[in-house]
Structure 1
Amino acid sequence: MKKLLYRKYPFDPSIKNHCIVAFGLAIWVFIFLFYTEPFDVNQFKDDEMPLYMSLYGLLVGTCYLVFIPIQEILFKKYKENWYVISEILFLLTYVIISIIAARLFYLYAVVPGEPYPYTLGYHLKAILIPAFLTILPIVIFGRFAFGKYKNKKTEAKKIEIKGEGNYEGLRLLFNDVICIQSSDNYIEVFYLNGSILKKTLIRNKLSVIANEFPELLRTHRSYLINPYHFLQWKTEKSKLFILLFHHIEVPVSKTYQNNVKSILNSTTE
Structure 2
Amino acid sequence: MLQHKYPFDSSIKHHIIIALGLALWIFIFLYFTEPLDVNEFGDTEKLIYMPLYGLLGAFCYLLFLPIQNYLYQKNDQHWFVKTELLFFLIFIIVSIVAARLFYLYVIVPGEPYPYTLWYHLTSVIFPALLTILPIVIFGRFAFGKYKNKKIQDQKIEIKGEGNYEGLRILLNDLICIQSSDNYIEVFCISGNDVKKTLIRNKLSKIADDFPELLRTHRSFIINPYHFKQWKTEKGKLFAELSSSIFIPISNTYKTEVKSVLNSTTE
1:266 to 225, 244, 263: 263
Query: How far 1:194 moved relative to its partner?
Result: 3.3
Within-5 A mapping of 1:53-202: 53-202=50-199
Aligned AA for 2:27? F
TM-score normalized with structure 1 length: 0.96
TM-score normalized with structure 2 length: 0.97
Query: How far 1:193 moved relative to its partner?
Result: 2.3
Q: 2 CA distance for matches of 1:226 and 1:37?
A: 60
Q: 1 CA distance for matches of 2:98 and 2:26?
A: 14
Q: 2 CA distance for matches of 1:53 and 1:266?
A: 57
1:19 to 13, 16, 29: 16
Within-5 A mapping of 1:14-53: 14-41=11-38, 44-53=41-50
Q: 2 CA distance for matches of 1:187 and 1:115?
A: 77
Answer yes or no: is the 8 Å Cα contact 2:5–2:80 preserved in 1.
Answer: yes
Query: How far 1:50 moved relative to its partner?
Result: 2.4
Stretch of structure 1 that moved more, 205-214 or 39-48 = 39-48
Q: 1 CA distance for matches of 2:98 and 2:149?
A: 36
Query: How far 1:35 moved relative to its partner?
Result: 3.0
2:4 to 4, 7, 13: 7
CA-based RMSD of the aligned residues comes to 1.2
Aligned AA for 1:212? D
Query: How far 1:41 moved relative to its partner?
Result: 3.5
Answer yes or no: is the 8 Å Cα contact 1:180–1:188 preserved in 2.
Answer: yes
Answer yes or no: is the 8 Å Cα contact 1:186–1:202 preserved in 2.
Answer: yes
Unaligned runs of 5+ in 2: none
Answer yes or no: is the 8 Å Cα contact 1:63–1:94 preserved in 2.
Answer: yes
Query: How far 1:195 moved relative to its partner?
Result: 3.3
Answer yes or no: is the 8 Å Cα contact 1:179–1:223 preserved in 2.
Answer: yes
Query: How far 1:249 moved relative to its partner?
Result: 1.2
Q: 1 CA distance for matches of 2:138 and 2:35?
A: 24
Query: How far 1:189 moved relative to its partner?
Result: 0.4
Q: Secondary structure at the match of 1:56?
A: helix
Aligned AA for 2:160? G
Q: Secondary structure at the match of 1:141?
A: helix
Question: Per-residue CA shift, 1:154-200, capped at 9, x if unaligned?
Answer: 11111100000000100111111000011111001001123332111
Q: 2 CA distance for matches of 1:200 and 1:42?
A: 65
Q: Secondary structure at the match of 2:253?
A: helix
Answer yes or no: is the 8 Å Cα contact 1:80–1:195 preserved in 2.
Answer: no
The percentage of counterpart residues that share the same residue type is: 68
